[in-house]
Structure 1
Amino acid sequence: MSFQIDRSLGFLLNRAASAMRLALEDRLRPYDLTAPQWAVLERLAEDEGQTMSSLGLSLGFDRPTTTGVVKRLEMKGLVERMADASDGRVVRLALSERGRAQVSELPPLAAEVNRKAAHGLSRDERAALERLLLRVIANMKG
């Protein structure tokens, strides 16, 4: 049997991710945020004080993407850079007061997109899908 792009894991994963990203960005538009900006805000809300490199690694962003997203969030007054207390050469990232206020409004938007994507899947199917996707990610790292 020949290769069929429509049945390729990469093609299907990309289409699903693109559809979910577009749906999320539609919901984020009133907040003037993109999906990568939302991801940075959420990650900093979970674990403030990360370095630029640790933030990028945790989100799967390359260095230029991380730098650009953080810079735009700084310009919007949502993220701040601060010197590390023990090593002033190290820069850490934190949500600003405005960023904390805004990020608290966003989780329901992402949850709505996840619910839409998982519509019609049983709880077991959703758990299996998550497990399989994590395995695919691990396979591609190794």
Structure 2
Amino acid sequence: MNCPEMPALLVIKLAHSIALDMERRLKNYGVTMPQWTLLKQLWQQEGRSQVELQELLGLDKATITGLVQRMSQMELIQRRTDPLDKRVQRVFLTAQGRALEQITTALVEEVNAHALADFSADERDFFLRLLARAFYNSAER
């Protein structure tokens, strides 16, 4: 497939292919991509409110509520009422949720290595710089 005149299409297809690979690998651990993205936010900072997670992930209220409920039932996370504001639910990792960080970090490395398998180190660095610049250019607007 040669579509040099359609970089956006190639980027979309690449992102889709990488996401499918990651989703397939996550499935072995009983985790979906949306669940993993929520876990990633909590690995960076535990105790975020559901509203914060909703905004960070770009999800609507019903979707984040369902996601948090399912992940609580799976014992990946737990909700706690904010001691200063009883209306706010804060989300924390369980030991099981914390343990997935190392596992999924390795999965991300495998997926990236697979996608960039035939690239030299210089090509990989150059490609990533180009992607970052294209992303920056498109995000400016």
Q: Distance in 2 between matches of 1:51 and 1:116?
A: 35
Larger mean CA deviation between 38-47 and 61-70 belongs to 61-70
Question: Offset of 1:112 from its aligned partner?
Answer: 0.3
1:18 pairs, out of 12, 16, 34, with 16
> Quick one: distance in 1 between partners of 2:139 and 2:45?
26
**Pairwise CA RMSD of aligned residues?**
2.6
* Pairing of 1:1-142 with structure 2 (within 5 A): 7-59=5-57, 61-63=58-60, 64-138=62-136, 139-140=138-139, 142=141
- Pairwise CA distance, 1:57: 3.6
Q: Structure 1 pair 65/110, CA: closer, same or farther in 2 (3 Å)?
A: farther
Alignment gaps of 5+ in structure 1: none
Q: In the TM superposition, what is the alpha-carbon distance from 1:117 to its structure 2 partner?
A: 1.3
Q: In the TM superposition, what whole-angstrom CA distance separates every residue of 1:70-114 from its partner, at most 9, and x where no partner exists?
A: 232122111111122332322221112221233332211111001
Identity of aligned residues (%): 33
Q: Measured at CA, do residues 10 and 62 of structure 1 come closer, stay the same or move farther in structure 2, by a change above 3 Å?
A: farther
Q: 1:78 to 1:5 in 2, by over 3 A?
A: same
Structure 2 unaligned runs (5+)? none
Q: TM-score, normalised by structure 2?
A: 0.78
Q: What SS class does the counterpart of residue 38 from structure 1 fall into?
A: helix
Query: d(CA) in 2 for partners of 1:66 and 1:5?
Result: 37
